[in-house]
Amino acid sequence: MIYTCTLNPAVDYKFNLENVNIGKLNRVENANFFAGGKGINVSIVLKNLGTDSIATGFLGGFTGDFIKSTLKNRNIKYEFIDIELPSRFNVKIKHPHMETEINADGPHISNSKMSELLIFIQEMKKDDLLITGGSTCKGQPEAHGVIAQICHEHGIPFVMDTPGKYYSQFLKYKPFLVKPNIQELGDYYGTKITKVEQAIFYGKKLLEEGAERVIISMGKNGSIYLDQYYIYRSNLIHSKVTSSVGSGDSMVAGFISSYLSDKDTQKAYQFAVAVAQATTFHEGLATYETTMKYYYDVNVKEISK
């Protein structure tokens, strides 16, 4: 079974507004709520692609209930650690040419609640796989490292998709896959990456430090896949970007979903790129139908090591 873990899930409150009139009363119509957070997005995309997963992490309060009901409505299983304080709530305002985000820090997680999650993870099996990432939760700055260590010790393959600052916590525990974007990769190595050659150079470094597979997303420049045998490159199909929110999570879901069924790396990477594009070029997260619009046009080139 695939498990996804979200340490600090969120309800995203989204609406359109020409401008925010500071100090005034602003009225909005058609505001909507969405369940958000990296692991939850991955679980949703996996389900859309026909792959089951169990979502875990911490959930609390009425915002946590909303996230549970969203998963339930999509027939996604979950086993969250219940906390007392409400889960995080983010406000996302879409203006004509930009977006304003107001993100809260989310509830504090006690050591005993963290232990409950770690015990749950320990009980996973060697043929399970854990996909986790995002920022950590308040009170648990080392959570990514501890989770990675436990997975490593128990032989549970895990995918970590986090901001660069967390990489030093978990690379040594040999993640099955990491998926930095070039900004995150640069953050980790204290540099600014602009060229594909640089991305490959630092991607190889991630492999040396412990990652088994690396996908580096580069926005308009497409992406790169690296493992100890292969380097692949794929360009982005040029199309109008609707929203890039969740495209990284879609890439992870796409790779895992395809790889676990076929064990074919190149095919899984091609599928991952198509899923990410389906999320980027359409409203909402990728579905199997939108993914297949892109799959056969995705061009994956092998690059010699």
Binding residues for a copy of itself (CB under 8 A): 13, 15, 17, 19-29, 31, 33, 61-63, 65-66, 69, 86, 89, 91, 93, 95, 98-105
Specify whether the CB–CB gap between 268 and 255 falls below 8 A. yes
Beta carbon of residue 247, minimum distance to a copy of itself (angstroms, whole number): 17
How buried is 40 (Cβ within 10 angstroms: 0-12 exposed, 13-18 middle, 19+ buried)? buried
d(CA 290, CA 70) in angstroms, rounded, equals 21
Specify whether the CB–CB gap between 269 and 241 falls below 8 A. no
Beta carbon of residue 19, minimum distance to a copy of itself (angstroms, whole number): 7
- Does residue 127 have an active-site annotation? no
Beta carbon of residue 17, minimum distance to a copy of itself (angstroms, whole number): 7
The residue annotated as part of the active site, out of 65, 127, 249, 264, is 249
Beta carbon of residue 126, minimum distance to a copy of itself (angstroms, whole number): 37
User: Cβ closer to a copy of itself: 1 or 31?
Assistant: 31
User: Cβ closer to a copy of itself: 89 or 158?
Assistant: 89
* DSSP symbols for 224-244: EEEESS-EEEEPPPP---S--
Specify whether the CB–CB gap between 106 and 36 falls below 8 A. no
User: Cβ closer to a copy of itself: 58 or 89?
Assistant: 89
Q: Which residues pair with 64 in a beta bridge?
A: none
**Structural Rg of the chain based on CA atoms:** 19
Q: Angle at Cα 29 formed by Cα 27 and Cα 32, nearest 5°?
A: 120
User: Cβ closer to a copy of itself: 162 or 234?
Assistant: 162
**Kind plus residue range of the DSSP H or E element containing 54:** strand 53-60
User: Cβ closer to a copy of itself: 89 or 259?
Assistant: 89
As a residue count, the chain comes to 305
Specify whether the CB–CB gap between 273 and 239 falls below 8 A. no
Dihedrals phi, psi of 71, to nearest 5 degrees: -65, -45
Beta carbon of residue 300, minimum distance to a copy of itself (angstroms, whole number): 33
List, by residue number, the catalytic residues. 249
